[in-house]
Amino acid sequence: MDGVVQYVRRPGIVDLGWGHPDPGSLPTGEWAEATGEALRRFGWTALTYGAGAGPGPLIEWLRANLAEVDAAAPRASEVFVTGGASQGLEMVCALLARPGDVVLVDAPTYHLALRIIADREVDLRPAPTDDGGILPAGTEELIRRLDSEGHRVAFVYLVPTYGNPTGASLDGNRRRELVEVAARTGTTLVEDDTYRELTYEARAPRSLWSIAAGGPVVRLGSFAKTVAPGLRLGWITADRSFVRRLVDRGFVDSGGGVNHLAAVTMAQFGASGRYARHVRTVRELYRTRRDALVGAVRGQVPGARFRVPDGGWFLWLGLPAGVDARSLLAGAERAGVSYLPGNRFHLDPGAGSDRLRLSFSLLAPDALAEGAQRLGRVIAGAVAAAQL
Amino acid sequence: MDGVVQYVRRPGIVDLGWGHPDPGSLPTGEWAEATGEALRRFGWTALTYGAGAGPGPLIEWLRANLAEVDAAAPRASEVFVTGGASQGLEMVCALLARPGDVVLVDAPTYHLALRIIADREVDLRPAPTDDGGILPAGTEELIRRLDSEGHRVAFVYLVPTYGNPTGASLDGNRRRELVEVAARTGTTLVEDDTYRELTYEARAPRSLWSIAAGGPVVRLGSFAKTVAPGLRLGWITADRSFVRRLVDRGFVDSGGGVNHLAAVTMAQFGASGRYARHVRTVRELYRTRRDALVGAVRGQVPGARFRVPDGGWFLWLGLPAGVDARSLLAGAERAGVSYLPGNRFHLDPGAGSDRLRLSFSLLAPDALAEGAQRLGRVIAGAVAAAQL
């Protein structure tokens, strides 16, 4: 629908670029039911100015849910309900960073988070990384060097669990070391934890927030991937003094809870069992799609290098030597397939051109297979041309 | 309900301090119906990432509605859908002001807007005013003086229509002059226009935005007063380049429209005729309450000075000489009535102590009458004590 959604359909193109949910999975009927129930259950309190940190019943439900899907549950005073992870990150930037501060980010990392952080007029720099993600010792060294040069490092942003774009997760040792580095250097970690519940093999790794146990981690959660992005609903766990600062923002004091009706409706969606059922369904759906894309890429894309993602929505595909993700794009689109070049996920415009991000969330298995086939032909052509 | 809403009931106190809607007026059943209809009409597009500026159908409906309630309708490219006027003001501050800039505000003005603006770490100063509101010539003089002193005036914030706390509106001449001052000095006016449709006598005065016709006015609208605050839904009209800058904020680019499902549901609430019916109902309701409070204050409060508000939610009551709104408060609460002292609406803590803001939105006519009676006794006591 033109002018209603972000998504733009391009006829003839299998577009693996969109990190958007499967339209068929979005719970239109169930959300309507939950809304009716919430408006009966909460009455007028669902429609007036809501509690600043979010409604108590949603916070209680979130605590119970996090006790299941993470290694620790927050206290009620450690939760703030947001208008989605992006809106949450905007608030976190306002509180933690001042214009001119340095913010370190994982590399590669979620490209649109870079834009949110840049809006705070900070100096964005990549943290040191290798194939396993961010390097704690190197990050500590960098923070200390920046500090000695008179810079203030406002925070470190990363997506350590089923990351965007890599689909990979930071291992347990690095998680612990990174939290220790944060504590030692007095640096806050901003943990984008929006893919935690889309896990296809095992339980997700414990969050940095749970490891820090009240320490310097602000964790961003979301209902965009588990339920629906259009709700604009998410949450933050952080220590209670930080939550108090969020509640104390002028616009929250004035308008009350950031997305109150959606929040009380989610409390009902959770309490009624719909959330648990829905997450089971989408987990199965996206696992199937991941398997479809992985199988098709393996079979159809010559020289494909990738790790099978354990969760999330993305396959981070390494290209054969000599093939550049950006140069390939126009030809790929002429051949009827699209993707995001790896460069988009790096601050350094020269980095990541040997990779591309393929999303398996939006499209059905048939389309994923067709996309992989087209991509395979285009890459084979590029390899052949490079060898001429 | 504890922990669900902002509102805190204090037993035994008729609390005229809350600028909150009548709980009984909140359209719980109708919103549930509209949600069901919207989810059928828009299907999955209601639940995925929405268009950054807001969904086209809501923008079209808003244009038609503004053509009725204001002197001009915006173009579609001049509208941005927000998460409420407070969230909109937060965005406007981020785009227009830099830390250290001067922001001029009407005096008295909406007290919680002062907190939102202050979060941007600006230097807030009162614009010159008299009983008729902001003084255009004096404001121009002040802007030029600040400019010559090396200050940058980021914008002027005011609530010119059925203002909070005064209930008064700026007259037509001052509106035109103020827009001319803004154009001449290159200063943006931020017009908080959230009470426009709660008009009890005649059509509301035309907005500064409509007078400026594409000039330097950013106007904040809201559905909090016309439908329900818990929706967290509002809108901005501004020139298209400013709207493009709003859409271009990183968190909007990442999360899509700021409150997408609420926005498409409002499109349905409007298109179905529910909005028009509901506004007629609440206008009648609040007119009745205004009349009840005005009558009771006239009859019960000795030496009361006020203008009958033509719209909005507030009566701005002048106290008899020698009675201080702050000193009176503790005794008033002991006597079972509360209000907001006038000082709360001024930057200067010494200003406004001869006034108090009484809200007639939350409470039924009987309670308003009871509150006025108690207030009258307390004020009579204070007058008697002052004369001893």
- Tens digits of per-residue pLDDT, B156-195? 999 999 999 999 999 999 999 999 999 999 999 999 999 9
Chain A residue numbers with beta carbons less than 8 Å from the beta carbon of B224 are 49, 255
Does residue B349 sit at the A interface (CB-CB below 8 Å)? no
Instruction: Determine the length of chain A.
Output: 388
Does residue A312 sit at the B interface (CB-CB below 8 Å)? no
pLDDT the model gives residue A2: 61
Measured torsion, CA atoms of residues A126, A131, A137, A138, in degrees rounded to the nearest 10: -40
What is the average pLDDT across B143-160? 98
Does residue A221 sit at the B interface (CB-CB below 8 Å)? no
- Tens digits of per-residue pLDDT, B36-91? 999 999 999 999 999 999 999 999 999 999 999 999 999 999 999 999 999 999 99
Mutate one of B25, B33, B49, B363 to test the A interface: name it (highest A CB count within 10 A): B49
Distance from the Cα of B78 to chain A's closest Cα (Å) equals 14
Categorize the per-residue pLDDT at A128 as very low, low, confident or very high, splitting at 50, 70 and 90. very high
Question: What is d(CA A25, CA A6) in angstroms, rounded to the nearest whole number?
Answer: 17
Q: Among B55, B51, B71, which residue's Cα sits nearest to residue B270?
A: B55
What is the average pLDDT across B191-208? 97
Q: What letter represents residue A350's amino acid? A: G
Which residue of B50, B83, B262 is in closest CB contact with A4? B50
DSSP B236-281: EE--HHHHHHHHTSHHHHHH-STTHHHHHHHHHHHHTTHHHHHHHH
Chain B residue numbers with beta carbons less than 8 Å from the beta carbon of A47 are 26-28, 31, 228-231
Q: What phi and psi values does residue B355 have, to the nearest 5 degrees? A: -135, 160
pLDDT the model gives residue A386: 84
Cβ of B253 and A55 within 8 Å?
Answer: no
Cβ of B224 and A255 within 8 Å?
Answer: yes
3-state secondary structure of B9: coil
Residue B135 has pLDDT above 60, yes or no: yes
Does residue B23 sit at the A interface (CB-CB below 8 Å)? yes
Categorize the per-residue pLDDT at B9 as very low, low, confident or very high, splitting at 50, 70 and 90. very high
Categorize the per-residue pLDDT at B257 as very low, low, confident or very high, splitting at 50, 70 and 90. very high
Q: What letter represents residue B175's amino acid? A: R
Cβ atoms A227, A27 nearer than 8 A: yes
Cβ of B3 and A55 within 8 Å?
Answer: yes
Q: Which two tokens stand for residue A40?
A: 């009966």
What integer best gives the mean pLDDT of chain B?
A: 97
What is the average pLDDT across B366-376? 98
Percent of chain A with pLDDT over 90: 97
Chain B residue numbers with beta carbons less than 8 Å from the beta carbon of A75 are none
pLDDT the model gives residue B171: 97
Residue A388 has pLDDT above 90, yes or no: no
Does residue A56 sit at the B interface (CB-CB below 8 Å)? yes
Question: What is d(CA B69, CA A330) in angstroms, rounded to the nearest whole number?
Answer: 49
pLDDT the model gives residue B2: 61
Burial string for B103-135 (b: 16+ CB within 10 Å, else e) reads bbbbbbbbbbbbbbbebbebbbbbbebeeebbb
* Those residues with Cβ within 8 angstroms of residue A315's Cβ, 6 or more apart along the chain or in another chain: A167, A290, A293, A294, A297, A306, A309, A357, A358, A360
Beta sheet of B314-318, edge-to-edge order: B314-318, B355-359, B340-341
Assembly ipTM: 0.97
Q: What letter represents residue A187's amino acid? A: T
Residue B1 has pLDDT above 80, yes or no: no
Does residue B371 sit at the A interface (CB-CB below 8 Å)? no
Task: Report the DSSP beta bridge partners of residue A315.
Answer: A358
Does residue A29 sit at the B interface (CB-CB below 8 Å)? yes
Say which residue the tokens 């809106």 belong to: A87
Q: Hey, which bits of B91-132 come out as E strands?
A: 102-105, 123-126, 129-130
Distance from the Cα of B168 to chain A's closest Cα (Å) equals 21
CA distances from B43 to A30, A252, B255 (A): 12, 31, 19
3-state secondary structure of A338: strand
Question: What is d(CA A240, CA A77) in angstroms, rounded to the nearest whole number?
Answer: 5
Cβ of A256 and B229 within 8 Å?
Answer: yes
R_g (Cα) of chain B, nearest Å: 21
Cβ atoms B311, B161 nearer than 8 A: yes
Does residue B173 sit at the A interface (CB-CB below 8 Å)? no
Cβ of A5 and B261 within 8 Å?
Answer: no
Distance from the Cα of B382 to chain A's closest Cα (Å) equals 32
Question: What is d(CA B197, CA B207) in angstroms, rounded to the nearest whole number?
Answer: 12
Residue A352 has pLDDT above 90, yes or no: yes
Chain A residue numbers with beta carbons less than 8 Å from the beta carbon of B119 are 94, 249-251
Does residue B229 sit at the A interface (CB-CB below 8 Å)? yes
Scanning every residue of chain A, which has its alpha carbon at the shortest distance from the alpha carbon of B45? A5
Question: What is d(CA B54, CA A335) in angstroms, rounded to the nearest whole number?
Answer: 33
Chain A residue numbers with beta carbons less than 8 Å from the beta carbon of B363 are none
Distance from the Cα of B106 to chain A's closest Cα (Å) equals 18
* Those residues with Cβ within 8 angstroms of residue B317's Cβ, 6 or more apart along the chain or in another chain: B297, B301, B304, B305, B306, B339, B355, B356, B357, B358
3-state secondary structure of A83: coil
Chain A residue numbers with beta carbons less than 8 Å from the beta carbon of B251 are 86-87, 89-90, 116, 119
Does residue B75 sit at the A interface (CB-CB below 8 Å)? no
Cβ atoms A325, A343 nearer than 8 A: yes
Q: Which two tokens stand for residue B119?
A: 């979060």
Question: Which parts of A76-171 fold into alpha helices (H)?
Answer: 85-96, 111-118, 136-148
Q: Among B233, B271, B257, which residue's Cα sits nearest to residue B51?
A: B257
Cβ atoms A300, A335 nearer than 8 A: no
pTM greater than 0.95 = yes
Question: What is d(CA A219, CA A226) in angstroms, rounded to the nearest whole number?
Answer: 16
Q: Which two tokens stand for residue A154?
A: 């406002």
Cβ of A56 and B20 within 8 Å?
Answer: no
For residue A202, the 8-state DSSP code is S
Question: What is d(CA A81, CA A63) in angstroms, rounded to the nearest whole number?
Answer: 12
Does residue B250 sit at the A interface (CB-CB below 8 Å)? yes
Which residue of B6, B43, B90 is in closest CB contact with A49? B6
Q: What letter represents residue B220's amino acid? A: L
Chain B residue numbers with beta carbons less than 8 Å from the beta carbon of A86 are 250-252, 254-255
What is the average pLDDT across B321-334? 96
Burial string for A355-367 (b: 16+ CB within 10 Å, else e) reads bbbbbbbbbebeb
pLDDT the model gives residue B234: 98
Question: What is d(CA B188, CA B182) in angstroms, rounded to the nearest whole number?
Answer: 6
Does residue A350 sit at the B interface (CB-CB below 8 Å)? no
Tally of CA atoms within 13 A in the half-sphere of B165 that contains its CB: 28
For residue A319, the 8-state DSSP code is P
Cβ of B259 and A4 within 8 Å?
Answer: no
* Those residues with Cβ within 8 angstroms of residue A280's Cβ, 6 or more apart along the chain or in another chain: none
- Tens digits of per-residue pLDDT, A165-208? 999 999 999 999 999 999 999 999 999 999 999 999 989 999 99
Distance from the Cα of B203 to chain A's closest Cα (Å) equals 26
The DSSP element (H or E) to which B93 belongs, if any, is: helix B85-96
Cβ atoms A87, A232 nearer than 8 A: yes
Question: What is d(CA A28, CA A73) in angstroms, rounded to the nearest whole number?
Answer: 29
Does residue A47 sit at the B interface (CB-CB below 8 Å)? yes
Does residue B62 sit at the A interface (CB-CB below 8 Å)? no
Q: Which two tokens stand for residue B69?
A: 């309630």
The DSSP element (H or E) to which B220 belongs, if any, is: strand B217-222
Cβ atoms A75, A240 nearer than 8 A: yes
Percent of chain B with pLDDT over 90: 96
Count of A-B CB contacts under 8 Å: 268
Residue A1 has pLDDT above 70, yes or no: no
